[in-house]
Structure 1
Amino acid sequence: MTQPQQETGGTGLGHRSVSMTRVGKGLYEVTNERGGTMLVGGGGDSADFTPVELFLVSMAACSATDVDFITSRIAEPTSFDVVSEGEKSKDEGGNHLSDIEITFTVRFPEGADGDRARERLPRAIAQSGDRLCTVSRTVQRGAPVTYHEA
């Protein structure tokens, strides 16, 4: 018998939801199910993250979490940096990002455990992109998005 999926805001399976409230022209406060908040802006003079930047953050953070959990079981990294980038374009199909790249720069300490973690890193990155990261896997597979008025 299949277990019903629970609603969750964690890393497990289940429903996800965020809500947004306008706080000014092109500026919104986003709240998650656990009560965390952040501001999202439209760019311009604001230093707040834009929706496209958050999209890039989502892919990078999702994969970084996967890679971190896999490799840090072997050795704690001495540095762990991720860059997520892409080209915003417009064509006959509308606005979109292309040439999205997520680049990891991860260093581990010297020694046997560090060597094992360095050896495991490429596979961990590949697993995240091929199977584990919900965000980039959703982009790669494509998912229907429905817009409606409440």
Structure 2
Amino acid sequence: MADDTLRSVTLQRTSLGQYEVHNARGGTIVVGVGDGTDFTPVELLLAALGSCTGADVDYITSKRAEPDSFSVQVTGDKVRDETGGNRLVNLTVELRVTFPEGAAGDAAREALPRAARMSHDRLCTVSRTVALGTPVDTRTEP
């Protein structure tokens, strides 16, 4: 029986500082180190935070009304110090969502703050993992 809890991606080096990332469903993205237009690993982390929260909020609020507009901006400051090394601080996920006038839009607007809290507090695997500080086990194979 397959382990339905396992999540994975595989990276393949294509050139110095550039990698193709593959998922089990056949999707591919290119990741770089910031020399070109490819997303960097930090940008992908920010995208993961925003898309995870955005999807949670979208599914909850869209049951009430389809949004007129829906965008998510994720920001963070990269710092380097002696105690923590390179890392992001001041992570912020900002949802900008508008709904149509009327009862359905009112219900969606009312649900929006609660949906954002639910995502942050328990639903979004990405932000929960970051907030709880899950250890990373880095290994090498011969």
Shorter-chain TM-score bucket reads over 0.9
Letter in 1 for 2:97: V
Residue 41 of structure 2 corresponds to residue 48 of structure 1: no
Stretches of structure 1 lacking an aligned partner (at least 5 in a row): 9-13
Residue 72 of structure 2 corresponds to residue 82 of structure 1: yes
The secondary structure found in structure 2 opposite 1:125 is helix
The secondary structure found in structure 2 opposite 1:89 is strand
- 1:11 matched residue in structure 2: none
Residue 130 of structure 2 corresponds to residue 133 of structure 1: no
Offset, 1:149: 1.0
- 1:26 matched residue in structure 2: 17
TM-score normalised per structure 1: 0.91
Is the 8 Å Cα contact of residues 7 and 16 (structure 1) preserved in structure 2?
Answer: no
The RMSD of aligned alpha carbons is 1.1
Stretches of structure 2 lacking an aligned partner (at least 5 in a row): none
Once the two structures are superposed, the pairs formed by residues 85-96 of structure 1 within 5 Å of their partners are: 85-92=75-82, 93-96=84-87
Measure the CA separation in 2 of the matches of 1:17 and 1:53: 19
Measure the CA separation in 2 of the matches of 1:35 and 1:143: 27
Letter in 1 for 2:7: R
Measure the CA separation in 2 of the matches of 1:7 and 1:74: 34
Is the 8 Å Cα contact of residues 40 and 50 (structure 1) preserved in structure 2?
Answer: yes
Instruction: State the identity as a percent.
Output: 53
2:63 aligned to which of 59, 66, 73: 73
The secondary structure found in structure 1 opposite 2:75 is strand
Measure the CA separation in 1 of the matches of 2:89 and 2:41: 15
Is the 8 Å Cα contact of residues 78 and 108 (structure 1) preserved in structure 2?
Answer: yes
